[in-house]
Every structure is written in C-alpha cells, then in structure tokens.
Amino acid sequence: MISPFGSEILQSVYIDDSSLREDLLKEAQSLPSIVISSSAAANAVMLGGGYFNPLKGFMNLQETLKVSESMQLDSGVFWPVPILNMLHDQDLNEGIRSAPKIALRDPNIEGNPVLAVQEVNAIEFISNEAIKSIINQVFGTEDPKHPGVVAFSNGGNTLISGPIQVLNFSYFSSDFPETFRTATQIRTEIETRGWEKTVAFQTRNPMHRAHEELCKMAMKDLNADGLLIHMLLGKLKKGDIPADVRETAIQKMVENYFPENRVMITGYGFDMLYAGPREALLHAVFRQNAGCTHLIVGRDHAGVGDFYGAFDAQDIFDSIPEDSMQIKIFRGDHTVWCHQCEKVVMMRDCPHGPDDYLLLSGTRVREMLSQGKELPPEFARPEVTKILSAYYQTIPQ
C-alpha cells in the first residue's frame, strides 16, 4: 500500500483514547480559551484526521513564510500551503498571551465547545506586507474578488503556533455520520478491501455525467481497483450547493451507475481555499495520506472564476521535485457529451468541435433546475436532476 506523506506511519493528533480524551476535556475547562476561526477549526479537524500528516499543529511565522515562498517545511519536507491558527490581536487576552497551553473553541457549534488543546510555542504578529506576500504566493493574486483572498485577508494579524491535541471532529461527524471519514479510516478501509490502486476524485459540487464518466475513464486507463469519491464538507462560497444535497445526489448516482463494491463515498472537513494550483498539491498530499495512489486533476481544479488557467493545477505538478510525493495524478481534460460520438468524451480525444458538444453554462443549469425543468440526460442523470431540482426550488428567486 502507498506510504503516508512524509512519514512511514500515518500520525494523527486526534486523542483516540477515551480516558485520556476525558482528562484533556476536563483540563481544557481550566485553561485560557479562544473561539478560533472556521478556517483554523477546519485545519484542526484535518490534523486530527491524519490528512495533514506529518504536521503536528499550527505553523509559526518563519515556517509560514518558507512554505509560501518555497513550499518547504523547516524540516525540508515538501508542503504547499500554510496551516495556521490565525486570528485578530484584539481577540487575545492576557491569559492567553502568557499561557503555555490553551483551549481552542469551535466557532461552528452553538456554545463553542472545546475542539482541541494547543501548546503555545509562539504568538507572533504578522505584518500587512507579509500577509500580502503570502496571498500572492499561495493564491497567485490579491484581487479582492477572489473568495480565498478575502478570507485570508480578513483572517487576522496574529499567529498562534504549536502542536495540538484534537478532541473531536466538530459538526462533521454528527452532521455527516455516513460520509465523514478520517484519512486513517479511509486507509484502513482501502486495506481491508485489498485495493492496491485507488483513484481519488475531489468534488465540492454534485456530479454530472461528465464527472461520472471522467471517474470511469480514470479507473479504466489506470486499471484501478477502486474509486474514492471524496467530498468537501466544509465552508464554501456563497451560491455553492450544500453538502447534504451533494451527498444525496452523489449517493444516488453511484448506487445506479457504478459497479458494486468499487466505489467509496466519503467526505472530509475542510474549508475550501479556492487556491487553484497550490490547493491541488494539498489535495494530492492528503489523498496520499488516505491511501490513494492517484488523484484526478481536471480542468481548473480547485479554481474559481477566471483566476487560473484551465490546466495550471496540472502543470504545477511538473514544477515540483519528483520525489515530493508518491501519489500520481490523472490528467483530465474538459469532459462533455458529444452528439457525433454519442457519448461523454474528453475534448482532447475527440475529433469533433463545439457545434457537436452539449454545453450548458452553470447559470443556465441553475435556471432550469429552479424552474423544475429536466436537464438533458446526456448532461445529468435523471435521478440527480430530481434531487437538485427539489433543492433549487426551495431557494427564493
């Protein structure tokens, strides 16, 4: 089986021992505490799930700048984006500033229960100049219309670094009990199934015919044993379809159109960065930790708007050292129904042109669903259309 990223054994900072976890929860009640950002909470969940192996906690300023500039941890290990507990200076009280250990409270659950306990190695101010530099290097733009840039810009001016001990998985395990899985759990399941070659498909959207066929093409071309459909369950930008709706639609598609016992549908608790190429690298890192040998990287992977070239997220894998990671990528092209070929094709493999393709804009798709109109079956499976249409008709027009 493929090794975890950056270590021989997958290391999680989740406290699995129930007795020790109870002791830490009791200790946390007496510690100085702070309600962290949704982004930091998602990072804690990913650290607890083993997805960010070999990291043990949040980065300090020096390592943050090094990762942003050269995609390297202080240890020399490759790493594509900073993993931070970033907040506003005014949110820090004197108790936190002088404490060796603090409790991190969950911003996404009523009452803000303790999510993790963090050792405080350093509390550092991060200048506007440094924030601007990080944004440019990670997102490739400082345009305020980019949702990731906005989120990072508003994240604060202070970093609290140090290792953490994660005590729960926030709302993900309770809201998505059938779907949320840690990297440790996925790796164990892949091993149990005996899959030697596993392809991962990242999605923050429902899967239409093009996505379905792209997965099948990758499985066939790679002679893969199985497919991991890995859904993002965290915060998205305004207008994206909620995770529970996506989950229902994907479950129905797999149930009806994929062979039995060849697909795992799981989700992970992370807030989307929309960082395009850099985020594609991060996606590969945590899929390797989950035991996958390949990741499908399609057109405009992890992008938003027109901020990245169609295949920048593939090209960045050619620019990093060959030994950076073991996982390989499957390069997908724009996938579309061709009337002449009478099937879904990747444009690079098709001799026909735009006049032969079924092309529907996202705006047009949303309009049709909102009006209760059926999408063409060549574009979306009828069962998926029904689920999405029911959702869109609940949204005030």
Choose one of 170, 188, 222: the last residue of a domain: 170
Q: How far apart are CA 349 and CA 138, in angstroms?
A: 32
Q: Do 333 and 364 reside in the same domain of the chain? A: yes
DSSP annotation string for 51-74: TTTT--EE--HHHHHHHHHHSB-T
Active site residues: 204-205
CATH number at residue 147: 3.10.400.10
Q: How many domains does the chain have?
A: 2
Q: Do 47 and 164 reside in the same domain of the chain? A: yes
pLDDT, tens only, 290-304 = 999 999 999 999 999
pLDDT, tens only, 4-55 = 999 999 989 999 999 999 999 999 999 999 999 999 999 999 999 999 999 9
The pLDDT value recorded for residue 397 is 65
Task: Answer whether residue 155 is part of any domain.
Answer: yes
Q: Which domain holds residue 343?
A: 178-268+274-392
Task: Answer whether residue 5 is part of any domain.
Answer: no
Q: Do 43 and 129 reside in the same domain of the chain? A: yes
Q: Is the peptide bond before 54 cis (omega within 30 degrees of 0)?
A: yes
Contacts of 306 (CB under 8 A, 6+ apart): none
Cβ atoms of 195 and 187 closer than 8 Å = no
Cβ atoms of 74 and 62 closer than 8 Å = yes
The pLDDT value recorded for residue 135 is 98
Contacts of 256 (CB under 8 A, 6+ apart): 381, 383
C-alpha distances in angstroms, 242 versus 254, 304, 359, 391? 19, 17, 24, 9
b/e burial code for range 17-53 (CB count within 10 A of at least 16 → b):
eeeebeebbeebeebbbbebbebbbbbbbbbbbbbbb
Cβ atoms of 97 and 123 closer than 8 Å = yes
pTM beyond cutoff 0.85:
yes
Residue 67's DSSP bridge partners are: none
Cβ atoms of 359 and 335 closer than 8 Å = no
What average pLDDT does the segment 203-222 reach? 94
Residue 166's DSSP bridge partners are: 14, 116
Q: Do 197 and 335 reside in the same domain of the chain? A: yes
pLDDT, averaged across the chain: 95
CATH number at residue 343: 3.40.50.620
Q: Do 161 and 193 reside in the same domain of the chain? A: no
Residue 116's DSSP bridge partners are: 104, 166
Q: Do 137 and 187 reside in the same domain of the chain? A: no
Q: How far apart are CA 310 and CA 347, in angstroms?
A: 13
Q: Do 105 and 195 reside in the same domain of the chain? A: no
Task: Answer whether residue 10 is part of any domain.
Answer: no
DSSP state of 180: B
DSSP state of 6: T
Task: Answer whether residue 230 is part of any domain.
Answer: yes
The pLDDT value recorded for residue 192 is 97
Higher pLDDT, 121 or 366: 121
Choose one of 117, 150, 170: the last residue of a domain: 170
Choose one of 154, 170, 186: the last residue of a domain: 170
What average pLDDT does the segment 205-219 reach? 95
Task: Answer whether residue 314 is part of any domain.
Answer: yes
The pLDDT value recorded for residue 395 is 83
pLDDT, tens only, 240-296 = 788 889 999 999 999 999 999 999 999 999 998 999 999 999 999 999 999 999 999
Cβ atoms of 10 and 56 closer than 8 Å = no
Task: Answer whether residue 4 is part of any domain.
Answer: no
Q: Do 331 and 224 reside in the same domain of the chain? A: yes
Confidence of residue 205 (pLDDT cuts 50, 70, 90): confident
Confidence of residue 324 (pLDDT cuts 50, 70, 90): very high
Cβ atoms of 197 and 227 closer than 8 Å = no
b/e burial code for range 383-393 (CB count within 10 A of at least 16 → b):
ebbebbbebbe
DSSP annotation string for 315-366: HGGGSS-GGG-S-EEEE---EEEETTTTEEEEGGG-S--GGGEE---HHHHH
pLDDT, tens only, 328-354 = 999 999 999 999 999 999 999 999 999
Secondary structure class of 22 (helix, strand, coil): helix
Task: Answer whether residue 313 is part of any domain.
Answer: yes
C-alpha distances in angstroms, 365 versus 181, 231, 340, 379? 31, 21, 22, 10
The pLDDT value recorded for residue 393 is 86
Task: Answer whether residue 249 is part of any domain.
Answer: yes
